[in-house]
Structure 1
Amino acid sequence: MKLYYSPGACSLSPHIVLHEAGLAYTPVLASTKSHKLQDGTDFYTINPLGYVPVLELDDGTRLREGPAIVQYLADLAPQKNLAPAHGTLARYRLQEWLNFIATEVHKGFAPLFTPGTPEDFKPVVRERLLARLQWVDGQLAGKSYLMGEQFSVADAYLFTVTGWPQYVGLDVSGLTHIAAFRERVAARPAVQAALKAEGLIK
């Protein structure tokens, strides 16, 4: 398998899951600025939408969208318990979290990263985003992870997007449960390995 990624982008989530699952893969750096691979290949020929992550299977099939990719990877290594079994309510709870993180948090950051967003609009974006993160913070009270005491692929995704506030001027200093969650997740060996693989830590 190949994972097309960009350091610190949302592709960090499946990168973490690959390490958690213990699956063999080849990382392929795809610049989100130039949309080129290191060998000069136009990334749009890999993903016409131009963004990461993309998971390429050994037969050449490509899977897009982080929430789909992480569930696929979790199902390749069921013994790791990174996602509840199909057909269970717990699996739908996981999908509930993945959808919420994707649409309410991840996409909430988009205007703050997009050049040309009017400056007078950004405070509104930050206020809405902070409200969503405050809700997540409350949901983490008394729990190690989003689903309870078991780390799941949703935690890899939440860890990834909650690393972004520092880059967009969003003050999350009051979100103590998220801060504790981030410390807990960052300490996991697989997360350390993914962060190192992306050059985000030494």
Structure 2
Amino acid sequence: MKLFYKSGACSLASHIALRESGLDFTLQGVDVMKKRLENGDDYLQINPKGQVPALLLDDDVLLTEGVAIMQYIADRVPDRQLLAPVGSIARYQTLEWLNYVATELHKGFTPLFRPDTPEDFKPIARAQLDKKMQYVDECLQDKEWLNGHRFSIADGYLFTVLRWAYAVKLDMEGYSNISAWMKHVAARPAVAAALEAEGLK
């Protein structure tokens, strides 16, 4: 398998899932602004959406959209328990978190990264994110992982998106649960390996 990624982008969550899975894969960096691979090839010829992540399977099937890719990876290695079994409430709680991160947090950061976002809208986007950070911080109180005592793909996705809060300099001073949890996630060998491979701290 080959993961098309951009360092520090949402594709980091899929990268973490692959490292946690133990599956064999390679990495291919993408310039998402120019839609080019590191060797100059046209990325749109591989993924017409032009975004990351994309996962090229060994049979040349291409999967896009991070939440789908993470579920695929987790279901390939059920023994790793990155996603609970079909029919279990724990699985649906993990899917609930995946959807929350995708629709509320991930999309919430987008205006702060886009150069065409009007300056007068950025404080509004920050205020909306701050409310969501409060919710996440409360949810992480006294929790090792989002769904109890086992790391899941939702943890990897939340970790990826919460890193952006520091990148855009949101005021994270009061969120002690988030701070402790981020350090806990970063200490996992698979997460540390993904960060190192992408040149991230």
Same fold, TM-score > 0.5, yes or no: yes
Q: CA deviation at 1:120?
A: 0.9
Q: What is the rounded CA distance, in whole Å, between the counterparts of 2:15 and 2:149 in structure 1? A: 22
Q: CA deviation at 1:154?
A: 0.2
2:103 aligned counterpart, secondary structure: helix
Q: CA deviation at 1:45?
A: 1.5
Alignment of 1:33-52 (within 5 A): 33-52=33-52
Q: Which residue type is aligned with residue 187 of structure 1?
A: A
Q: Which residue type is aligned with residue 107 of structure 1?
A: K
2:61 counterpart residue number: 61
1:80 counterpart residue number: 80
2:92 counterpart residue number: 92
Q: CA deviation at 1:50?
A: 1.2
After superposition, give the CA deviation of every residue in 1:5-46 in whole Å (9 maximum; x if it has no partner). Answer: 000000000101111111100101011222100121111122
Q: Which residue type is aligned with residue 53 of structure 1?
A: P
Q: What is the rounded CA distance, in whole Å, between the counterparts of 1:77 and 1:21 in structure 2? A: 6
Q: What is the rounded CA distance, in whole Å, between the counterparts of 1:168 and 1:46 in structure 2? A: 31
Q: CA deviation at 1:86?
A: 1.0
Q: What is the rounded CA distance, in whole Å, between the counterparts of 1:197 and 1:13 in structure 2? A: 13
Q: CA deviation at 1:2?
A: 0.4
Q: Which residue type is aligned with residue 83 of structure 2?
A: A
1:187 counterpart residue number: 187
After superposition, give the CA deviation of every residue in 1:149-175 in whole Å (9 maximum; x if it has no partner). Answer: 110000000000000122223111211
More moved, 141-150 vs 166-175? 166-175
Q: What is the rounded CA distance, in whole Å, between the counterparts of 1:162 and 1:173 in structure 2? A: 14
Q: What is the rounded CA distance, in whole Å, between the counterparts of 2:173 and 2:68 in structure 1? A: 31
Q: What is the rounded CA distance, in whole Å, between the counterparts of 1:52 and 1:101 in structure 2? A: 16
2:24 counterpart residue number: 24
Q: TM-score, normalised by structure 2?
A: 0.97
After superposition, give the CA deviation of every residue in 1:154-199 in whole Å (9 maximum; x if it has no partner). Answer: 0000000000122223111211111111000000000011011111
The number of residues matched between the two structures is 201
Alignment of 1:28-177 (within 5 A): 28-177=28-177
1:12 counterpart residue number: 12
Q: Which residue type is aligned with residue 46 of structure 1?
A: I
Q: Which residue type is aligned with residue 116 of structure 2?
A: G
1:149 aligned counterpart, secondary structure: coil
After superposition, give the CA deviation of every residue in 1:52-93 in whole Å (9 maximum; x if it has no partner). Answer: 000110011011111111111011111111100012121111
Q: CA deviation at 1:96?
A: 0.5
Q: TM-score, normalised by structure 1?
A: 0.97
Q: Does 1:200 align with 2:193?
A: no
2:163 aligned counterpart, secondary structure: coil
Q: Which residue type is aligned with residue 114 of structure 1?
A: R
- Structure 2: 5+ residue stretches without partners: none
Q: What is the rounded CA distance, in whole Å, between the counterparts of 1:133 and 1:68 in structure 2? A: 24
State the identity as a percent: 52
Q: What is the rounded CA distance, in whole Å, between the counterparts of 2:16 and 2:188 in structure 1? A: 10
